[in-house]
Amino acid sequence: MEWWAAYLAIGAAAGFFAGLLGIGGGAIIVPLLAALFEAQGMPKDRIVHLAIGTGMATILFTSVASVRAHAVRGAIRWDIAWKITPGVLAGGLLGSSLSAFISARLFAALFALVIIVAGTGLVLDFKPKPSRHPPGVAGMSIAGFVISALSALAAVGGAFLTIPFMLWCNVPLLTAIGTGAAIGFPIALSGTVGYVAAGFVFLPALAGVVIASILTAPLGAMTAHRLPTKWLKRTAALFFYAIAARMLLSF
């Protein structure tokens, strides 16, 4: 029972950042769950897989809460979300299916790499050509496939890559955050199927994280719409780097 408080605390933090940055919360959940599972004496070679699988499953719930909060503010490009979904579903199934064949150390490195790339994109603040727009269905499907496959391996919900991609396509930041939250659901859905099949979802942790996260996601979304864009980008980048470092040092 003593672990329930820790699961709830992780969920509260994950839900807030899911709403604030459009992420599914996996970037917080995965390294913290990995530390908790290690403290509980779970097998070392399964800890990262269980943390990532459970983290991906929680995104199914945190993304819904985040999407609802952003949708009421009109901050979601549903046309982008629908176009990218076919590729997202295929990529998520592939990424999660490969999880059983990857070592814990390599898993941790992949997780950190995805987050570092996303954070660097925000720090450098690339300015896209004014004429650039989101691609058509084919281009969005390809982008969705790549983003989802990488996201399923790292359990990050996709927003770490979808938000920089949409900014590159001249989508405003707050709209990119809201749309990234919407895209996170099909990524989590396809990824979770693979992790459940492989036995990498720990149900007690899933329940505790979800209960708290769905309560704090609306608070994060409200905060996002009150902060300047510049501070949102800086906050996201620093957060990404800290999480990547934590994961690398753990494994």
Q: Which residues, 6 or more positions from 228, have their beta carbon under 8 angstroms from its beta carbon?
A: none
Average pLDDT over residues 226-240: 73
Query: What confidence score (pLDDT) does residue 208 get?
Result: 92
Q: At what angle do helices 173-198 and 78-97 cross, to 10 degrees?
A: 30
Tell me how far apart the alpha carbons of residues 81 and 179 are, in angstroms, rounded to a whole number. 7
The pTM of the whole model exceeds 0.75: no
Q: How high is the mean pLDDT of the chain?
A: 79
What tokens does 108 get?
């941790």
35 falls in which pLDDT band (50, 70, 90)? confident
Using DSSP's 3-state secondary structure scheme, residue 173 falls into helix
Average pLDDT over residues 114-132: 70
Per residue in 163-200, pLDDT (tens digit) is 778 888 888 888 888 888 888 788 778 778 878 888 88
Tell me how far apart the alpha carbons of residues 235 and 237 are, in angstroms, rounded to a whole number. 6
Q: How many helices (H) and strands (E) does the chain have?
A: 10, 0
Query: What confidence score (pLDDT) does residue 206 get?
Result: 92
Average pLDDT over residues 195-218: 87
Average pLDDT over residues 31-36: 86
**Start-to-end Cα distance in the chain:** 27
Does the structure show a pLDDT above 60 at 26?
yes
Tell me how far apart the alpha carbons of residues 20 and 147 are, in angstroms, rounded to a whole number. 20
Q: How many CA atoms lie within 13 A of 246 on its CB side?
A: 17
Q: Which residues, 6 or more positions from 204, have their beta carbon under 8 angstroms from its beta carbon?
A: 3, 4, 7
Ordered DSSP codes for 66-134: HHHHHHTTT---HHHHHHHHHHHHHHHHHHHHTGGGS-HHHHHHHHHHHHHHHHHHHHHT----TT---
Tell me how far apart the alpha carbons of residues 202 and 41 are, in angstroms, rounded to a whole number. 14
Q: Which of 73, 71, 89 is nearest to 184 (CA)?
A: 89
Which phi and psi (to 5°) does residue 23 adopt?
Answer: -80, 160
What tokens does 13 get?
């933090």
